[in-house]
Amino acid sequence: MLKVENLSKQFTLHQQGGVQIPVIPRLSFSVTSGEAVAITGPSGRGKSSLLKLLFGSYIATSGSIKILHEAEWLELTNISPRHMMDVRNKTIGYVTQFLRVIPRVSTLTIVSEPLIYRGVEVSAALLRAQNLLDQLNIPQKLWHLSPMTFSGGEQQRVNIARGFAAHHPLLLLDEPTASLDDENRNRVMELIREAQKNGSAILAVFHNEDERHLVCERDIAL
Ligand SMILES: Nc1ncnc2c1ncn2[C@@H]1O[C@H](COP(=O)(O)OP(=O)(O)OP(=O)(O)O)[C@@H](O)[C@H]1O
Ligand SMILES: [Mg+2]
């Protein structure tokens, strides 16, 4: 599903004297469908940056990222922004730690959107969104509100519901359970296992070692 070769990333802080921060040093690995792999390493080592490189939010300094998109291998490091959007809509799902929301857009809309982009009928997309919000214990009275004012854990669960709404052949998860209580954490673990059963390859950062061992078969240590 994913082949990474000699990937490196270095940040240059142009407004702070051109200071250079190397984060990823020539990293190579691959992930197959249905496999769950953990990215490990101490805080600040570059775990989130790696996920952002794979999602096309950061540009690699050197190296190659190949992904299987609609049965074709694509090189992501030199793809056009438009083509990258298509890869994001159909192939790569990404659950960030924090939800970034547009004011006044309802929770149901945020969660059902990825399905509507895929051409799923609005009523079916809303039904799937409702099921996910229900599974993740978001009270019904909140569904029609913007998640802007929700608690940290509620926002994280809305983010997870959105990330899992549509099937993605590759799922990038950045500390998806970090601010959740035990029950909701278990619900998220179930969603991850379900996605894996449906063939998704999973690349995840877990704060908690037990959770990491529950889901992931091997580690990529940074
Ligand atoms: N956009 C950026 N510009 C400059 N430096 C950045 C940028 N993004 C990340 N960094 C730097 O890269 C390093 C790695 O950050 P990153 O967020 O990837 O770490 P992490 O392993 O996810 O850490 P944590 O476990 O704390 O989440 C940090 O030193 C950070 O300051
Ligand atoms: Mg991080």
23 lines ligand 1 (CB under 6 A): yes
Q: Do the domain assignments include residue 23?
A: no
Is residue 27 in some structural domain?
no
| Structural domain that includes position 116 | 32-59+89-221
User: pLDDT for 192-202, tens place per residue?
Assistant: 999 999 999 99
Which residue of 9, 19, 20, 23 sits with most ligand 1 atoms within 8 Å of its CB, as the best mutation to test the pocket?
23
Cα 144 to middle of ligand 2, angstroms: 30
Q: Per the domain annotation, does 26 fall within a domain? A: no
Q: Is residue 163 part of a domain?
A: yes
Q: How many angstroms does the Cα of residue 41 sit away from the middle of ligand 2? A: 10
* Cβ–ligand 1 contact at 96 (below 6 Å): no
152 Cβ inside 6 Å of ligand 1? no
Distance between CA atoms of 168 and 203, rounded to whole angstroms?
12
Tens-place pLDDT, residues 79-104: 999 999 999 999 999 998 777 777 88
Residue 44 lies inside a defined structural domain of this protein: yes
Say which amino acid occupies 7: L
**Distance from C-alpha of 51 to C-alpha of 187, rounded to nearest angstrom:** 23
Neighbours of 5 (CB within 10 A): 13
Q: State the total domains in the chain.
A: 1
Instruction: Say if residues 146 and 106 touch (Cβ distance below 8 Å).
Output: yes
Residue 13, judged by CB atoms within 10 A of its CB (0-12, 13-18, 19+), counts as exposed
Answer yes or no: is 134 within a domain. Answer: yes
Within a domain: residue 17?
A: no
Q: What is the pLDDT of residue 53?
A: 96
Pocket test for ligand 1, best of 8, 10, 11 (most atoms within 8 A of CB): 11
- Measured by CA distance, the residue closest to atom 25 of ligand 1 is 43
Pocket test for ligand 1, best of 10, 40, 45 (most atoms within 8 A of CB): 45
Other Cβ atoms within 10 Å of 70 Cβ, number? 10
pLDDT exceeds 90 at position 169 = yes
Helix (H) or strand (E) holding 128: helix 122-135
Distance (angstroms) between ligand 1 centre and the Cα of 153 equals 22
Would the pLDDT of 121 be above 80? Answer: yes
Report which of 182, 37, 200 is spatially closest to residue 191, judged by C-alpha positions. 200
pLDDT band at residue 178, thresholds of 50, 70 and 90? confident
Q: Which of 19, 50, 20, 18 is nearest to 10 (CA)?
A: 20
Tell me what pLDDT residue 171 has. 97
Strand partners, 116: none
Say yes or no: CB of residue 179 within 6 Å of ligand 1. no
In a domain, 22, yes or no: no
Q: Give the pLDDT of residue 179.
A: 82
Whole-prediction pTM value? 0.94
pLDDT at 92: 96
CATH of the domain at 146: 3.40.50.300
Average pLDDT along the chain: 94
